Structure 1
């Protein structure tokens, strides 16, 4: 099977950005998506609402952060670039401001193993990166560190990041992270949530090796 073209990836990015809105994970011009392509990556532009976004608006960028597009890339392009550069197994990055993930991020709170589905994010916690201003190198450094051996993290007083080997998996994880944070918020109101052991999450991670969305051509 041939690799998808830049246009095909751009169409998928536009669809993903609209999905963030319809799934309640983002609003307005918030949120951004990137996908690896060739020696660089394709990045959502700055300031274009998802419902107005077109495939030709997606910005091709080099791993040096350069582009020749008429539109500027999202101000968060640095952490997208640095995640893709640091994690060769990762091809897609989704950043959004969903309500429950962001609420815990506002509290600077990492998410513990209150449900086995946390294994989808790669470990027994979803870390919360310390606060840094949006679009800065400091934020990129903090995000990359929080994602060490993980597929998702929170950004203090900001939002969340989900990454994956393809865009479908990254978007799926973003949905799962928001669901987990919503459940945790409710559980904290009900009582004291029970935390699963690191060993149990490690077992679940092994069982999750073929879990999550996949194409019909992928074997389970």
Structure 2
């Protein structure tokens, strides 16, 4: 399992979607989630980098899980998602800082896959952020936490990664288009 986490952690860093120490990855398996530990480098994950946490309640491993574990937990409790990726994608963050409630996108990919991306608020790892992200993901493949980064979901890590890529690409196109105006 950790090798799949490492594959997508490495892809996130190499593609510029986040930096090594920023972001987290999880998958749901029955009543638990496996999530990256706090402070691990996404492009150097190993079997000790992932921790199992109960979705319904506190686990002994909660203190070493990513600070965003409450957000991942809320997503799993409120959506049918089986995988979550959180990245600190630069164009998505910039657009979230200059936009209000959502980003309306341009371009073929956006028209087909995600014409808008909700912007949600809340401090990193907070219950407010968990509630707002989970609510935004009920009808969307991804959301952007204002000034913080993107949360994308899928039935697998592959699908969540595709959605993270789509969001950042769409935000980059919008950013560049807005520069031309």
Whether the 8 Å contact between 2:78 and 2:135 is mirrored in structure 1 is no
Count matched residues.
179
C-alpha distance in 2, partners of 1:186/1:50? 28
Whether the 8 Å contact between 2:5 and 2:45 is mirrored in structure 1 is no
- 1:141 deviates by 1.0
C-alpha distance in 1, partners of 2:11/2:55? 26
Counting only pairs closer than 5 Å after superposition, residues 162-177 of structure 1 correspond to structure 2 as 162-177=152-167
C-alpha distance in 2, partners of 1:99/1:15? 21
Any unmatched runs of 5+ in structure 2?
Answer: none
Counting only pairs closer than 5 Å after superposition, residues 1-220 of structure 1 correspond to structure 2 as 8=1, 10-69=2-61, 72-88=64-80, 90-109=81-100, 110-118=102-110, 119-121=112-114, 124-130=115-121, 132-191=122-181
How large is the RMSD of aligned CA atoms in angstroms?
A: 1.8
Which structure is larger by alpha-carbon Rg, 1 or 2?
1
Greater strand proportion: 2
Using the TM superposition, name which of 55-64 and 39-48 deviates more: 55-64
Whether the 8 Å contact between 2:33 and 2:54 is mirrored in structure 1 is yes
TM-score by length of 1: 0.76
C-alpha distance in 2, partners of 1:149/1:86? 11
- 1:149 deviates by 0.7
- For the structure 1 residues 187 and 64, does the alpha-carbon distance in structure 2 shift closer, same or farther, using more than 3 Å as the test? same
Higher relative contact order (Cα pairs below 8 Å, separated by 6+ residues): 2
